[in-house]
């Protein structure tokens, strides 16, 4: 075997040098490609997802934060700079355990220059990926919307898309203001303390009566401000994609209900305001009312004819129908229009639903609308109308923004004297009628029950009802209204006779009032004084 001579050594040295230079060149070129590619990549990424200014916080009326924005990191890739799509995707799985490796590999093997891998990473996840040193990957710092109260006030707040664009609720309604980038918070009329109390009591009522769904609103009847809005079932706005459409449905605005006898509030207000009736007038309630081919009779006939006040307190359907037919369809429609019930609630929320109205306003429609059948409205629309009945007679647009005292935005609907009489009748319903379970000692609660069979194909289902209660307190000096709807409550011990609002929605409203009155500065008074108001009209 020939021993290597000096010439062989020289050749080996030359070859080693050539390989070293070549390797250095490749390394340099790889670095240049990586750097230039990263610059180009970042430019492409900037065009694909332009930077967003800081979205304004949302706060309640007292400045408590309901929604804010934090910085997070989003991982993206330029597939052309990824050396091996399958190996890169597999490696990422170590830092992102729930990553879909196959789908990520497909993204990384595409011909695109920009693909998102995962958005909304925390600092630890970002660092874990960064430490891998995988080529073709980079991060973008992005804002992430957070809701520190979780489900509380979810439907009032709504949520944003992953790109920070308002998608529902206040986030969508006030998107332009929130995304202005000036850092100013957006205040809602919601009172977080009141919202919490209402939320807790409504959840308890939903469970107690095994209801399908529930809604509650608390409003300031002087200003129209919504102090609490609860719709159940609900969702976590931090995780909107994980919630169901049923949970995201804002029933306070987007659902409409036939509300039954609480609509008699507007029928009685109309009759009294036109001068056609006063609380003492006796009506022929001992006879059924015939409207077209519909016969409207008492479910439990009274031993005598009822006065107008008793029609309201005892919740007489034929009595309400008689008053509406006496007034006529044109007058009825005019008052309902004034009360804001002929159109959707005036709200910037896209979810606000239009009412369902009779196709033809004939005698049957006039008679049945008088006691809340044949017309369906949203809870927010009803709350606005009810406020006009009890606040002295002025319609004030319901709002989820803080506002000042009533002014040019208030429209007179009924005379102040009519409003005073109606408050007395509402108090009488709680003292003597179906609203007794809503009473709270010392707070002079007034209210009206409504139990409406739900419409189904071919008629109404007697075993499926919407039970509602509209309350005002104090009835002798009205300031706040509470409206509760339980959708298909089962009643105590599943007794059919206890599905009604007097047994279900009324006690929930009473518990709400007992909780929130101290928060709103409404003190309890001597029981004799509180109970004195309301003897059939104040």
Q: Which helix (H) or strand (E) holds 310?
A: helix 308-313
> By the 8 A CB rule, do 38 and 138 touch?
yes
36 is catalytic: no
Given 261, 307, 315, 347, which residue is catalytic? 261
First to last CA, the chain: 126
Q: 424 pairs with which residues across the strands?
A: none
Cis upstream peptide for 474 (omega within 30°): yes
Contacts (Cβ under 8 Å, ≥6 apart) of 82:
88, 108, 109, 134, 135, 136, 137
Token couple for 521: 């500065």
Going by the DSSP 8-state scheme, the letter that residue 353 receives in this structure is: P
**Backbone dihedral region of 495: left (phi > 0), alpha (psi from -120 to 50 degrees) or beta?**
beta
Q: 137 pairs with which residues across the strands?
A: 77
Q: How far apart are CA 34 and CA 40, in angstroms?
A: 10
Q: How far apart are CA 517 and CA 365, in angstroms?
A: 39
Nearest to 508, CA basis, from 197, 149, 152 = 197
Token couple for 83: 């050396």
Going by the DSSP 8-state scheme, the letter that residue 289 receives in this structure is: E
Contacts (Cβ under 8 Å, ≥6 apart) of 9:
none
> By the 8 A CB rule, do 382 and 483 touch?
yes
Q: How far apart are CA 14 and CA 483, in angstroms?
A: 92
Cβ count near 351 (within 10 Å):
24
Calculated CA dihedral for residues 235, 239, 245, 246, nearest 10 degrees:
-20
> By the 8 A CB rule, do 499 and 451 touch?
yes
Token couple for 395: 């319609």
> CA neighbours within 13 Å on the CB side: how many for 375?
30
Nearest to 384, CA basis, from 495, 193, 252, 485 = 252
Tell me the pairing of strands 186-187 and 58-59.
parallel
Q: Catalogue the active-site residues.
A: 261
């Amino acid at each position: 075997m020939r021993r290597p001579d000096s010439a062989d050594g020289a050749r080996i040295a030359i070859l080693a040098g050539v390989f070293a230079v070549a390797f250095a060149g490749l390394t340099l070129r790889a670095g240049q490609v990586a750097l230039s590619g990263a610059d180009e990549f970042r430019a492409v990424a900037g065009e694909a997802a332009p930077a967003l200014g800081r979205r304004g916080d949302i706060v309640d009326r007292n400045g408590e934060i309901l929604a804010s924005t934090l910085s997070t990191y989003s991982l993206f890739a330029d597939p052309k700079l990824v050396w091996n799509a399958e190996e890169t995707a597999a490696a990422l799985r170590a830092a992102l355990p729930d990553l879909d490796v196959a789908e990520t590999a497909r993204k990384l093997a595409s011909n695109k220059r920009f693909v998102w891998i995962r958005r909304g990473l925390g600092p630890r996840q970002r660092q874990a990926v960064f430490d891998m040193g995988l080529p073709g990957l980079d991060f973008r710092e992005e804002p992430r919307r957070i809701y520190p109260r979780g489900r509380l006030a979810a439907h009032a707040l709504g949520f944003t898309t992953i790109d920070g664009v308002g998608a529902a609720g206040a986030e969508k309604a006030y998107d332009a203001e929130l995304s202005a980038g000036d850092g100013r918070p957006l205040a809602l009329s919601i009172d977080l303390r009141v919202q919490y109390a209402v939320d807790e009591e409504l959840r308890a009522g939903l469970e107690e009566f095994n209801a399908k769904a529930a809604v509650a609103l608390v409003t300031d009847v002087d200003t129209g401000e919504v102090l609490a809005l609860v719709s159940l079932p609900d969702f976590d706005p931090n995780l909107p994609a994980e919630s169901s459409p049923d949970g995201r449905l804002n029933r306070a605005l987007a659902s409409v209900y036939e509300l039954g006898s609480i609509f008699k509030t507007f029928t009685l207000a109309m009759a009294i305001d036109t001068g056609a009736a006063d609380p003492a007038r006796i009506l022929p309630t001992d006879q059924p009312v015939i409207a077209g081919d519909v016969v409207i009779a008492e479910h439990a006939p009274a031993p005598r004819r009822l006065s107008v006040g008793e029609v309201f307190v005892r919740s007489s359907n034929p009595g309400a129908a008689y008053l509406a037919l006496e007034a006529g369809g044109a007058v009825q429609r005019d008052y309902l229009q004034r009360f804001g019930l002929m159109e959707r609630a005036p709200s910037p929320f896209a979810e606000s639903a239009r009412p369902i109205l009779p196709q033809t306003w004939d005698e049957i429609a006039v008679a049945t609308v008088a006691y809340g059948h044949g017309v369906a409205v949203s809870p927010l629309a009803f709350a606005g109308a009810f406020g006009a009945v009890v606040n002295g007679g002025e319609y004030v647009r319901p709002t989820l923004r803080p506002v000042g005292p009533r002014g040019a935005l208030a429209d007179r609907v009924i005379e102040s004297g009519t409003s005073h009489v109606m408050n007395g009748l509402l108090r009488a319903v709680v003292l003597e009628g179906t609203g007794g379970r809503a009473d709270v000692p010392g707070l002079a609660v007034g209210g009206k029950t409504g139990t409406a069979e739900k419409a189904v194909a071919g008629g109404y289902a007697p075993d499926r009802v919407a039970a509602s209660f509209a309350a005002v307190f104090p009835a002798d000096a009205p300031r706040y209204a509470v409206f509760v709807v339980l959708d298909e409550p089962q009643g105590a011990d599943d007794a059919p006779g206890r599905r009604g609002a007097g047994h279900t929605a009324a006690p929930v409203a009473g518990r709400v009032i007992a909780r929130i009155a101290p928060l709103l500065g409404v003190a309890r008074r001597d029981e004799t004084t509180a109970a004195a108001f309301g003897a059939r009209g104040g």
